[in-house]
Amino acid sequence: MDAVLQRKFLNQKALDVDTTGKRVKIAIAEMESVDSDGDMFAPTAFDKTIAERGPKGSNSIWHMTDHGWQLRSSLSKFSELYVEGKYLVGVSPYRDTALWRDTVWPLYEAGDITEHSVGFMTIKDDRSNPNYRLISEVFLLEGSAVCWGANSNTPTMAVLKSWGSTQRKEYIDGFTKRIERLIKGIDAGKFTDDTSLLKIHLKEIQAAFIALNEDATEPPVLIGTQPDHDAQLLLDIKSHFKELLKN
């Protein structure tokens, strides 16, 4: 299992923009083709996560912009999520928010949004084929509308290893402040009804810790955690960051 957040970009505009029903139909991942990272999704890679986390499950999979992973970057949760041919397809209903109304909907209508990306963690894969890695099961977090799909790795993994000590410290300080805000949100009960965004934040922080410390043991995937457990995990991650700074 790969607990690190991953992104796969797809050069595909909206499959349908329903101006009457106010919804968009988009492809957020492609299966059975080898991508630039040498990875290929199996035809059933998304079946389990759709059943458990999709609209008919816990309804925890978001349609977002630019992998923002914050409410200001969130469009809606997919009302439908299914495999159609070689594509993972999501149907996203329009919401009367500034992000939809002023930015995203006009761009979809004009056909300007031509790329999408999926954020996920690998649960099962097979590396026996020398030509590609077959990803047979994923833990799906979200699908995003993006301007360009230039980097199929998370920024955390792609950037941190080449940074100097000052840049790394600034990055850690930023995550430490982010943890503090998340703890305040937990204390205020903001994540009581829906912890899906909180879990995405936690996984990104975990990925940052793994990237900073190559000897770190990967923490378990956060599935079905409760808010009090999430708060304790935040405190544990914060202490790890502080220890990194001391060293």
For residue 203, give Cα distances in angstroms to 2, 51, 171, 237: 12, 21, 16, 11
Residue by residue, pLDDT tens for the chain (247 residues) are 555 678 888 888 899 999 888 999 999 999 998 887 889 999 999 999 999 999 999 999 999 998 877 788 899 999 999 999 999 999 999 999 999 999 999 999 988 888 888 988 889 999 999 999 999 999 999 999 887 653 333 333 334 445 566 666 766 777 777 777 777 777 777 666 666 667 766 766 766 666 666 544 444 343 333 445 555 555 666 666 566 556 5
Q: What is the pLDDT of residue 196?
A: 65
Q: What is the pLDDT of residue 115?
A: 86
Q: What is the pLDDT of residue 9?
A: 86
Q: What is the pLDDT of residue 238?
A: 61
Q: What is the pLDDT of residue 8?
A: 84
Q: What is the pLDDT of residue 66?
A: 85
Q: What is the pLDDT of residue 225?
A: 38
For residue 240, give Cα distances in angstroms to 154, 228, 243, 247: 21, 19, 5, 11
Q: What is the pLDDT of residue 51?
A: 96
Look at residues 74, 31, 81 and name the one whose alpha carbon lies nearest to residue 56. 81
Tell me the whole-structure pTM to 2 decimals. 0.63
CB atoms within 10 A of CB 106: 12
Token pair for residue 76? 């809606």
| 3-state secondary structure (DSSP) of residue 154 | coil
Q: What is the pLDDT of residue 219?
A: 43
User: What is the Cα–Cα distance from 138 to 236, expressed in whole angstroms?
Assistant: 26
Q: What is the pLDDT of residue 233?
A: 58
Treating both helix axes as pointing N-terminal to C-terminal, what angle do 196-212 and 165-187 enclose, rounded to 10 degrees?
Answer: 160
Q: What is the pLDDT of residue 208?
A: 64
Report domain extents, the chain. 2-153, 157-246
